[in-house]
Amino acid sequence: MSKQFEEIKQKLRGSITPVITPFNSDHEIDFVKQSELIEYQLANGTHGISVTGTSGEPSSMTVEERVQVMENAARTIDGRVPFAPGTGSTNHDETIYLTQKAQEMGADAAMVIVPYYNKPNQKALYKHFKTVADSVDIPIIVYNIPGRTAKNLEVETLAQLAQDCPNIIGVKESNKDFEHVNRVLLNCGKDFLLFSGIELLCYPMLAIGGAGSISATANVEPKKVAEMHDAWFAGDVERAQNLHFELMRLNDVLFMDTNPAPVKAALGMMDKIEPVLRLPMDLPTDDVQQVIRETLIDYNLLNNTKPVS
């Protein structure tokens, strides 16, 4: 592995927030708000930024819009923290195109999801990821989220990719099977970057050697999510564990509906964005929104009484 990749692996640690894509009332991308959200993250200790992953509603955007969102994020971050945009798609050629664009704009890594809807077999998944990895010179973080893709990237497939592709340096595992994620490090090596995409597993994955998390909750409570990682890496296990349990109720509430609908509702209540999603996604029901509001109040995150809808 090149010295460059080793340096990036050392930087890609902690809380990497998958920042949502803000839309205005006309359902157009609000790039000013996007920059403000990124500044909010950096002011609260977030260790890295991702965009156009699941939380960024990529399937509701055109390829050109995804490039624009990535470019605006790269300009806003300006090298202050690592940048790892999501570049995966159901379409193989689009994935290569977006990943190459990420490289062109100076991204530190690209996060490439298991193709959703297509349900490829393991041999096809290997060929897909290897071809994408071979098309660029930047690190790749594979994104395994079987609950959204209907297909699990098996440990054996990932281990073969890690062996054959020097720039596949890690994985975001949104997999509730904790035995699976243990076997990722067993088979890919303990220096392989393991990021949690399941909020309740962010702390447990650190305990087995994980590099951090890419957690939707960090959109709403970036400070405490970052502090949990800071505490862990500083050796303050009790503080990290306490923050893990402190965040648990908020995590649960922000997944009462499909991500990122509850997160956008929450950010709307916090007056960070206009709470707009593009169809077929939409805001949660009024009952769920009320639970979100009450939870934000309990977490001292709500400084106004602005209704979300």
Q: Among residues 40, 116, 126, 143, which one is catalytic? A: 143
Prior bond to 260 cis, omega within 30? yes
Any known ligand binding at 297? no
Q: Among residues 9, 101, 151, 172, which one is catalytic? A: 172
Contacts 24+ apart (CB under 8 A), 37-41: 37/219, 37/267, 37/272, 37/273, 38/73, 38/76, 38/77, 39/76, 40/222, 40/272, 41/17, 41/218, 41/222
Residue 306 annotated as catalytic:
no
Residue 123 annotated as catalytic:
no
Any known ligand binding at 214? yes
Return the active site residues: 143, 172
The binding site comprises 55, 214
